Amino acid sequence: MPWFKDSNPDHQVELHPLVRVGSLDFISHIKRIQDAGNSFAGYGPARLSTILSKKLTIQRVTIQGEPYVRIKGTKTGNNHWDLRARIASAPEALADGTRVRLDILNGNQVVSGALGLLAVSLAGTVADTRLQAVAPGDIVRFQALIRMQLATLLDQLGLGEQQISLPVEFVVLDVETSP
């Protein structure tokens, strides 16, 4: 593998946030990103439309008798988000956190293509406790990482090569109710 020029080479899949490596536990590090007491400003609703319009090409392949999924797409380049949303579904308890659906807002309008997007929080985090307390219709501000929602991608996988919309979900780092 060639040496990378920077710490963020082109890639399709990331595993984040990292919560545990062996006996090291990083759950307490999953929180709003701050520097010297100032909140980090992630990308907003204008940039989200660009991400939601991206396409992937997916295909089942077999290499040396082993089944794989080939994923081709373009670099998104936008990991960290600061957004405002309307809660679209009641919080659902998962084995390792909470899941809700969000309608992402730009002012009072839903961002094109951002209706019912998945968001998850990790058990044991402040964000998880706060997300469990929301109700459908609540307006929230949240900071999150974005990742490819692999379950949705696998659900759309057919026999041949096909193009799909980039299936995204947010991993919530912090959430607060907003007027």
Would you give per-residue pLDDT tens digits along the chain (179 residues)? Answer: 677 777 666 665 556 666 667 787 666 666 666 566 666 677 889 889 888 999 999 999 999 999 999 988 877 767 888 999 999 999 999 999 999 999 999 999 999 999 999 999 999 889 999 999 999 999 999 999 888 888 888 999 988 999 999 898 999 988 998 76
DSSP-based three-state secondary structure for 153: helix
pLDDT tens per residue, range 34-71: 566 666 677 889 889 888 999 999 999 999 999 999 98
Where does 45-138 show beta strands of DSSP type E? 55-63, 66-73, 80-87, 92-94, 97-106, 109-110, 117-122
* Cα 61 to chain centroid, rounded: 26
Half-sphere exposure of 98 (CA within 13 A, CB side): 24
Report domain extents, the chain: 34-177
C-alpha of 99 from chain center: 11
CATH number of the 34-177 domain: 2.40.50.140
| Cα 145 → chain centroid | 5
Global pTM? 0.80
State the pLDDT at residue 86.
97
Distance (Å, whole) CA 96 – CA 87: 20
